[in-house]
Chain A
């Protein structure tokens, strides 16, 4: 090739390169003008007093501050949320960002690696979070960034009702049992629970009983196959649970009471005790849109958050059941390094930010997973909740450590024991069979 030919060739290459650069820049400029659309599956009790604040101060605020990101959000609660998540996962159409648990009902997302490992994202701000919140989750990695810490068992006590009847907070199960005749004579229920849905008993009561009577170490042995659900400690836990109905401490009517139906009943003093998760606090606080509360701040001093009294034969004492907490994960199908991934992380970072965790603390919807988040706007019951975590240690929540193939029969079995349709031994055997079937399917 001659020198002139070389020159022409170089000019041509440079012209093509220049054209390509202009086109690419133009395209990327055009692209960056377009807002990134993020689909979100959010978990929200739209009837809770804090719902309006959550929507306005968390979700709408994010969109206002990030005009380059458009959120298409779907809010669901309880069973419809879990079922929609499974349907999305099965159809391969997971939203970009989704609310999820560290295990349990979100196991599919973790174990099938349908969400990204957030460890590299969190690294620069890792020290701002409580270490317990960043433990590897069901898939062996950080699939979701927890928005808080959760105790799934709380015994809410209305001390005013107890005092009116000359009673006090029970320290042992025998104390609690002894109150039954007095409460019945006064036309009160003993313990309120909205356990129509079968997860409620297992998550908010039985996990705590297993933690006390069986212990986490033995649960690890059962899961590993070195012990069985049919062994004496677990069957004893089921027997104790059955005795709650025989002793009149729990009424069978809890199984035909809807989950949130108990909130106004407890607020009205229908029973001195309510068993639920710590998140229930949010339903009692002041609704900022109406200025009304199921339990007004001036009456919240009568409500104490504690745990179930000492159970005969318990191995560990004064425990609740707890999980690192639910939070937000990012769809693994979003390309790494893409604008969408950057936008999704920006959203997750916001949803777990100090500001948002403060709002959630004030509305009672979650206890912060970040260190040092406080507020001077807490109602007495929210303050009570903040001290709860320091007073009680936590054991496993069964649906967090067991596969749904295993805790499914347990959930139904617990309702059957309560209804007198199955014995503790039968339920233990059925759960053991489910565990063995699950283990075989994994092989």
Chain B
């Protein structure tokens, strides 16, 4: 009787999960595997099967081409910088602001919450164009700097070492609000009695933060880091609108590099598929490292 009930339960679960699994296989798993398959062929358009098919096995040739292309390394370096600003900029900043609001360390909580989250709801393309105008050599930023230091020349985008700085700044401004909301929602789930008890036991604000709140949020932290890594690797729209990867592709990222390879000028689909597969692998690798670290540090996720 109990076994029959369990089988019934399993069937119900399977039935409930099936649509999502089919959808996942169709729109995520299949394209990923298909892209991996195409990356080791020379397919560049035309029929895939039958007579006149344009599909021949080429092994790792396109991966070798990708690793030999200097613009791939520039794009990868920029992606790592974005991951850096997301994990070590947006998340800590989002957490600090959420903590300040949650602990009522400032007034006007609703106002601050709205203002910090506001950039997230504006179209990314609009944000990109606005900030591009702001950082332009004829824009407000240049004028502002020139009023402080007459004769100042805006070469932010022209120096390969600083070209990504405006982009990283805008990313910090734009996405910190998302993490603020995630942390604020998680903080509100912590029992206030726990904090009160810690206070009664003589814990100061830092001890409350380190001993009560951060351990309770370790699972959320891992989730936000995973979100930050995957979001950083697919960043495209903001950079496309702000710089289009220029000047001289010095602000390109992997997704833009892949897009340029596939759709800008002569299409090179095999190389674009190799880039896309590399992005998936990199994303999985980085997320794996985060999970490993989380386990080592004894989190509860």
Task: Find chain B residues with CB under 8 A from A405 CB.
Answer: 265-266
- Identify the stretch in A61-69, A167-175, A253-261 within 8 Å (CB) of chain B at 4 or more residues: A253-261
B266 touches A404 (CB 8 A): yes
Contact mask for chain A residues 73-93; partner B; CB cutoff 8 A; 1 contact, 0 none: 000000100110011011000
What's the Cα separation between A418 and B247 when bound, in Å? 10
B138 touches A261 (CB 8 A): yes
A419 touches B247 (CB 8 A): yes
What's the Cα separation between A120 and B269 when bound, in Å? 35
What's the Cα separation between A256 and B136 when bound, in Å? 6
Task: Find chain B residues with CB under 8 A from A408 CB.
Answer: 264-266
Q: Which of A94-152 contact B (CB under 8 A)?
A: 105, 107-108, 112
Chain B contact patch, size range: 20 to 34
Q: Is the interface of A mostly helix, strand, loop or mixed?
A: helix
Task: Find chain A residues with CB under 8 A from B32 CB.
Answer: none
Whether a CB of chain B sits under 8 angstroms from the CB of A333 is no
Contact mask for chain A residues 252-276; partner B; CB cutoff 8 A; 1 contact, 0 none: 1101111001000100001000000
Q: What's the nearest-Cβ distance from chain B to residue A318, in Å?
A: 31
What's the Cα separation between A211 and B99 when bound, in Å? 64
Whether a CB of chain B sits under 8 angstroms from the CB of A425 is no
Q: What's the nearest-Cβ distance from chain B to residue A426, in Å?
A: 12
Whether a CB of chain A sits under 8 angstroms from the CB of B158 is yes
Whether a CB of chain B sits under 8 angstroms from the CB of A384 is no
Q: What's the nearest-Cβ distance from chain A to residue B62, in Å?
A: 13
Q: Which of A182-209 contact B (CB under 8 A)?
A: 196-198
What's the Cα separation between A79 and B259 when bound, in Å? 12
Most chain A CB within 10 A, of B247, B264, B267, is at B247
A198 touches B248 (CB 8 A): yes
Q: What's the nearest-Cβ distance from chain A to residue B273, in Å?
A: 12
Smallest Cβ-Cβ distance to B44: which chain A residue: A90
B263 touches A83 (CB 8 A): yes
Most chain B CB within 10 A, of A256, A261, A408, is at A256
Q: What's the nearest-Cβ distance from chain A to residue B212, in Å?
A: 48
Whether a CB of chain B sits under 8 angstroms from the CB of A224 is no
What's the Cα separation between A416 and B154 when bound, in Å? 18
A256 touches B137 (CB 8 A): yes
What's the Cα separation between A255 and B248 when bound, in Å? 9
B136 touches A197 (CB 8 A): no
B266 touches A253 (CB 8 A): no
Whether a CB of chain A sits under 8 angstroms from the CB of B178 is no
Task: Find chain B residues with CB under 8 A from A83 CB.
Answer: 259, 263-264
Q: Which of A82, A198, A252 contacts B158 (CB 8 A)?
A: A252
Task: Find chain A residues with CB under 8 A from B156 CB.
Answer: 256
Whether a CB of chain B sits under 8 angstroms from the CB of A415 is yes
Smallest Cβ-Cβ distance to A194: which chain B residue: B136
B248 touches A416 (CB 8 A): yes
Whether a CB of chain B sits under 8 angstroms from the CB of A400 is no
B265 touches A412 (CB 8 A): no
Smallest Cβ-Cβ distance to B137: which chain A residue: A253
What's the Cα separation between A270 and B160 when bound, in Å? 27
A79 touches B155 (CB 8 A): no
A412 touches B266 (CB 8 A): no
What's the Cα separation between A82 and B260 when bound, in Å? 11
B160 touches A421 (CB 8 A): yes
Contact mask for chain B residues 249-275; partner A; CB cutoff 8 A; 1 contact, 0 none: 100000000010011111101000000
Whether a CB of chain A sits under 8 angstroms from the CB of B215 is no
Q: Which of A89, A257, A415 contacts B136 (CB 8 A)?
A: A257
Task: Find chain A residues with CB under 8 A from B157 CB.
Answer: 255-256
Q: What's the nearest-Cβ distance from chain A to residue B236, in Å?
A: 12
Q: Given A253-B154, A265-B138, A415–B263 Cβ distance below 8 Å?
A: no
Smallest Cβ-Cβ distance to B269: which chain A residue: A90
B138 touches A255 (CB 8 A): no
Q: Which of B98-115 contact A (CB under 8 A)?
A: none
Q: What's the nearest-Cβ distance from chain B to residue A126, in Å?
A: 32
Smallest Cβ-Cβ distance to B243: which chain A residue: A196
Task: Find chain B residues with CB under 8 A from A418 CB.
Answer: 247
Whether a CB of chain B sits under 8 angstroms from the CB of A403 is yes
Q: What's the nearest-Cβ distance from chain A to residue B295, in Å?
A: 42
A415 touches B247 (CB 8 A): yes
Smallest Cβ-Cβ distance to A422: which chain B residue: B248
B246 touches A255 (CB 8 A): yes
A90 touches B158 (CB 8 A): no
B136 touches A255 (CB 8 A): no
Task: Find chain B residues with CB under 8 A from A198 CB.
Answer: 246-248
What's the Cα separation between A196 and B266 when bound, in Å? 21
Q: What's the nearest-Cβ distance from chain B to residue A405, in Å?
A: 5
What's the Cα separation between A247 and B216 when bound, in Å? 63
Q: Given A107-B266, A257-B136, A265-B138, A79–B244 Cβ distance below 8 Å?
A: yes
Smallest Cβ-Cβ distance to A253: which chain B residue: B137
Q: Which of B109-141 contact A (CB under 8 A)?
A: 132-133, 135-138
B266 touches A90 (CB 8 A): no
A412 touches B136 (CB 8 A): no
What's the Cα separation between A196 and B263 when bound, in Å? 19
Task: Find chain A residues with CB under 8 A from B138 CB.
Answer: 257, 261, 265, 270
Q: Which of B136, B244, B267 contacts A108 (CB 8 A)?
A: B267
B136 touches A419 (CB 8 A): no
Task: Find chain B residues with CB under 8 A from A421 CB.
Answer: 160, 248
Task: Find chain A residues with CB under 8 A from B153 CB.
Answer: 253
Whether a CB of chain A sits under 8 angstroms from the CB of B45 is yes
Task: Find chain B residues with CB under 8 A from A404 CB.
Answer: 264-266
In the complex, besides A405-B266, A415-B248, 8 extra interface pairs with C-beta distance below 8 angstroms are A86-B264, A90-B267, A108-B267, A196-B246, A261-B133, A415-B246, A419-B247, A421-B248
List chain A positions with a Cβ less than 8 A from chain B: 79, 82-83, 86-87, 89-90, 105, 107-108, 112, 196-198, 252-253, 255-258, 261, 265, 270, 403-405, 407-408, 412, 415-416, 418-419, 421
16 pairs, CB–CB < 8 Å, chain A vs chain B:
A86-B262, A86-B263, A86-B264, A86-B267, A90-B269, A196-B244, A196-B246, A196-B247, A253-B154, A256-B157, A257-B138, A258-B136, A261-B138, A404-B264, A404-B265, A408-B264
